Amino acid sequence: MRRRDFITVLGGATAWPLAARAQQSAFRLGILTGRARNEPNFAAFFHELQQFGMVEGQNFTVDPRGFEVPENRFPALANELIGSGVNVILTAGDAAIRAAQAATRATPILAISDDMVGAGLVRSLARPEGNLTGVSILSTELNGKRLDLLMEVFKDARRMALLSEPSHYDTQTSRCSARCSARA
């Protein structure tokens, strides 16, 4: 499977439960982040939801209180969102994720974080457990897969170099490096 196809399928798999529930009733999305709604990542997220038939104001609503929230307000707002009956909470950043996790064990949390495993938010990306799912952008658990994707794209490459801070080095990277060296 090509990388682009995989990402498309992953995006669809993430949005499908939201779309399915939106068709059944008025779906309410809670947001918990220090970021502004007009940032490109949120624009892309809402655009993708439209591709799956979710149109804000028609079959789902967004609770607007959760954008540009100071970090010290995350716990109180997370509790307010749960109390208001949102169906899902979209969080960005570790502090927002922790606040949402403390507020609920039942409402799904869609999270965006640098490293969910490294931050202790989940035990494993493969099995996050509980009501948390989402994207872990810089997770070291993905280093081997990232190198595999590079090797797939650059099939004729004989050598690849990795520049990293020593604190970011892990055994998974060294395993893939050994595999990459064996292939050369």
61-79 pLDDT, tens digit each: 999 899 999 999 999 999 9
Please tell me the chain's helix, strand, coil percentages from 3-state DSSP, rounded to the nearest 5: 50, 15, 35
Q: Is the pLDDT of residue 38 over 50?
A: yes
Residues ≥6 apart with Cβ < 8 Å to 147: 160, 162, 173, 176, 177, 180
Domain segments of the chain as ranges: 3-138, 142-183
Q: How confident is the model at residue 126 (pLDDT cuts 50, 70, 90)?
A: confident
State how far the Cα of 14 lies from the Cα of 50, in Å rounded to an integer. Answer: 13
pLDDT band for position 15 (50/70/90)?
low
DSSP one-letter code for 56: B
Per-residue pLDDT, averaged over 20-49, amounts to 81
Say which amino acid occupies 75: P
Q: pLDDT (tens digit, 9 = 90+) per residue, 78-116?
A: 999 999 999 999 998 899 999 999 999 999 998 888 777
Find the length of the chain: 184
Looking at residue 114, its pLDDT comes to 76
Q: What is the architecture of the domain spanning 3-138? A: 3-Layer(aba) Sandwich (3.40)
